Chains A and B, each alone.
Chain A
Amino acid sequence: MNKRVGQLQLIKKIKLNYNNYLLEFKADSILSDIKPGQFVNIQIDRSPSTFLRRPISIYDVNYQTDTISLVVKIVGAGSETLTSTEPGSIIDMVYPLGNGFSQPKAGDKCLLVGGGVGVAPLYLLAKEMNINGIKPFILLGARTAEDHILLSEFNKLGEVFLTTNDGSLQVKGFVTDHEIWSNSLNFNKIYCCGPEPMMKAVAAKAAKLDIDCEVSLENLMACGFGVCLCCVTKTHDGHKCVCTEGPVFNIKDLEWQI
């Protein structure tokens, strides 16, 4: 199906921790075409400080009820306004945008690596893997125990491993410090989303272990559908738009110094 401008109704708002919210919207169209790893571009209020839309990755889709869920972390004026919106409100979104993650092959041993709010797009991916008979291993990192979100949801979809920078929950350190990397689990596919330094560290591990790895990038963008050419990342084939040719890239295509 096509990209569209939709008017979606906020039907549920759950505070996940001190700065993350789960927002669920009832869509005005059938969502069967949405794939894990895609995003929506949300109009905030066009006020002077939030003039442009805000791209937010899709956390979950209920294909039966046509609802779409997003995890929003408060980072500035846009997310502040969006998370203070009350259920019942109508929100203008352009969706679905971006390419999404590739489908794993049957029998693939998959590791999902998420950091902070970057865990969000991995949820729908893990859900789809479960439907296709793949139980992924899920490695999630956050600054503290409190920063870990949606753990009970991820626990339903695969074996979850955690790290915290301060050691307040499970392994102390970054996701790349976890012993899962030294175990001979023989992953053949890694999917990663989180802060860029984390993704680069994971990409370096994957490259060293010769494991196919996809990362979901988050560059500043104005349009979200490939016309402003602002959100580019360097690939071996020149600049590519993160919004249309990404946000998911295979690390072998990126010009990352890892």
Chain B
Amino acid sequence: MANLEVKIHNLTFKNPVITASGTFGNGVEFDDFIDVNSLGGIVLKGTTLKHREGNNYPRMAETASGMLNAVGLQNKGAEYFCKHIYPAVLRYDTNVIVNVNGSTIEDYIALAEIINDLEAIPAIELNISCPNVKEGGMAFGTSCPMAEQVTKEVRRVYSKTLIVKLSPNVTNIAEIARAVESNGADAVSLVNTFLGMAIDAEKRVPRLSTVTGGLSGPAIKPIALRMVWQVAQAVKVPVIGMGGIMCASDAIEFLLAGASAVQIGTANFVDPQVSVKVIAGIDDYLQRHNFNSVLDIIGGLQM
């Protein structure tokens, strides 16, 4: 077996495969299907300071090689998280990362402070890229000054590994990545979903209750890969790549483009065992190509 270990900031991951927020519940939903401990890390479902009911049904539309979602950060809030979800994930021997959301800077700060005190959570993923909430969310991730400000303010109160999750719905994603890097981000993860929409032509109505939603799945992979490649060249902090990864060779493409780790999202819906298959596939690839370590292929794209 090749050495699959990677480092993001000062955090060690046993392999570069992490499951993406909103596609892996709180991990426990996957206990029937896989050994969650075999993963490099898991990012829990997006959390907000206060309970959120999320958007109305319908929240999902299948599209060509992908899907649109408009869940709208349904979650039970920080207090419930600390009381019920945190104790349930304590048993995992993997990096458990909390995805932190807010409508205001104050919300982000307050939630980051709460999560900072949870000993078993070594990192947060600051979500400035949710396309499905009316206030905040993506607004923070699509403007350089706002991305800078929220990163700077959260950095002040959060002492562990700070990952900032970027929106692809921008003109120049490398610029946003540099903005959060210079304001204290320890790593960036990208991409969140692309804003899209679908229409039921027969009924002449939108397929989503919110009209627009976030597009994910293999449909977005080439664009996500291009963005990861651009950002990896623009920043010094580690990049976590995601967007439509369905198999090991997809993941390897992201690593070659410069990602230090990858996240698997929508594929978890299609195959709840995909994450462990990707890990095995990366190992197989490294052995076939005589690499001792996954580090040998990160950014290894030959031009």
Whether both chains belong to one complex is answered with: yes
Q: Which residues does A use to contact B, with CB under 8 Å?
A: 2-5, 43, 46, 48-49, 51-53, 94, 219-234, 238-239
Closest 4 CB pairs of A and B: A230-B60, A227-B25, A2-B32, A223-B269
Contact A232 B59 (CB under 8 A): yes
A158 and B277 CA atoms in complex are apart in Å by 48
Q: B81 to chain A: closest CB distance in Å?
A: 15
B22 interface residue (CB < 8 Å to A) = yes
Q: How far is the CB of A35 from chain B (nearest CB, A)?
A: 16
> Shortest Cβ distance from B124 into chain A, in angstroms?
20
Q: Mark B20-45, 1 if CB is under 8 A from A, else 0.
A: 00111100011011000000000001
In angstroms, how far is the closest chain B Cβ from the Cβ of A53? 7
The answer on a CB contact under 8 Å between B270 and A43 is: yes
Q: Output the nearest chain B residue to A3 by Cβ-Cβ distance.
A: B32
Evaluate whether A227 and B33 lie within 8 angstroms (CB atoms) in the complex, with A48-B64, A220-B58 already known. Answer: no
Question: Whose C-beta in chain B lies nearest to the C-beta of A219?
Answer: B57
> Using a Cβ–Cβ cut-off of 8 Å, how many residues does chain B contribute to the interface with A?
34
Contact B71 A225 (CB under 8 A): no
Shortest distance from the beta carbon of A248 to any chain B beta carbon, whole Å = 17
A225 touching B29, Cβ below 8 Å: yes
Partner of B272, one of A46, A94, A230: A94
- Chain B residues within an 8 Å CB radius of A239: 53-54, 74
Q: Which residues of A contact B60 (CB under 8 A)?
A: 220-222, 228, 230-231
Contact (A228, B57) CB under 8 Å given A3-B33, A4-B32: no
- Taken together as a complex, chains A and B put the C-alpha atoms of A184 and B66 apart, in Å, by 52
**Chain B residues positioned under 8 Å from A232 (CB to CB):** 54, 57, 59, 74
Between A and B, 6 residue pairs with Cβ closer than 8 Å are A220-B60, A220-B61, A222-B60, A222-B69, A234-B56, A239-B74
The answer to whether B273 has its CB under 8 Å from any CB of chain A is yes
CB pair B270 A229 closer than 8 Å? no
Residue of B nearest to A76 (CB): B62
Contact A5 B273 (CB under 8 A): yes
B45: chain A residues at CB < 8 Å are 227, 229
Any A CB within 8 A of the CB of B79: no
**Interface pair B268/A46, CB less than 8 Å apart:** no
Evaluate contact between A228 and B71: CB separation under 8 angstroms.
yes
Assuming the contacts A4-B32, A227-B29, A228-B22, asked whether A49 and B64 have C-beta atoms less than 8 A apart, the reply is yes
Determine if B22 and A52 form an interchain contact, defined as CB atoms under 8 angstroms apart: no
Known: A4-B32, A43-B270. A229 touches B64 (CB 8 A): no
Contacts of A229 in B (CB 8 A): 22, 45, 54, 59, 71, 74
Bound state CA distance, A219 and B65, in angstroms? Answer: 20
Q: Does B67 contact A (CB under 8 A)?
A: yes
A46 to B244, CA, bound (A): 13
User: For chain A, what secondary structure do more than half of its interface residues adopt (helix, strand, loop), or is it mixed?
Assistant: loop
Q: A221-B60, A227-B23 are in contact. List 14 more A-B contacts (CB 8 A).
A: A2-B32, A3-B32, A5-B33, A51-B65, A53-B269, A94-B272, A223-B23, A225-B29, A229-B54, A230-B58, A230-B60, A232-B54, A234-B56, A239-B74
Given contacts A229-B59, A230-B60, contact A46 B32 (CB under 8 A): no
Measured CB to CB, the closest approach of chain A to B206, in angstroms, equals 13
Residues of B within 8 A of A219 (CB): 57-58
Contact A4 B25, beta carbon cutoff 8 Å: no
Contacts of B54 in A (CB 8 A): 229, 232, 239
> Which of chain B's residues have a CB closer than 8 A to the CB of A222?
60, 62, 67, 69, 266, 269
Chain B residues whose CB sits within 8 angstroms of the CB of A221 once the complex forms: 60
A51: chain B residues at CB < 8 Å are: 62, 64-67, 217-218, 270
State the CA gap A227–B75 with chains docked (Å): 11
A234 to B58, CA, bound (A): 11
B23–A228 CB distance below 8 A = yes
B99 to chain A, nearest CB (A): 13
Cβ–Cβ < 8 Å partners of A231 in chain B: 57, 59-60
B contact residues around A5 at 8 Å (CB): 33, 271-273
Q: How far is it, in angstroms, between the C-alpha of A232 and the C-alpha of B54 when the chains are bound?
A: 10
**Cα distance, A226 to B57, chains bound together (Å):** 15
Find chain A residues with CB under 8 A from B24 CB: 227
Q: Which residue of A lies closest to B66 (CB)?
A: A51
Residues of A within 8 A of B67 (CB): 51-52, 222
Output the nearest chain A residue to B54 by Cβ-Cβ distance. Answer: A239
Name the residue in A43, A48, A223, A228 with the highest tally of chain B Cβ atoms < 10 Å from its Cβ: A228
Residues of A close to B65: CB separation below 8 A: 48, 51
Assuming the A-B contacts A2-B32, A228-B23, A228-B60, are A52 and B71 also in contact, with contact meaning beta carbons closer than 8 angstroms in the complex? Answer: no
Give Cα distance in the complex from A77 to B286, angstroms.
38
Residues of B within 8 A of A220 (CB): 58, 60-62
Q: Could you tell me if A53 and B33 are in contact, using CB atoms closer than 8 angstroms? A: no
Collect the chain A residues with CB atoms within 8 Å of residue B29's CB. Answer: 225-227
CB 8 Å contact bits of B145-185 with A (1 = contact, 0 = none):
00000000000000000000000000000000000000000
Q: How far is the CA of A234 from the CA of B56 in the complex (A)?
A: 8
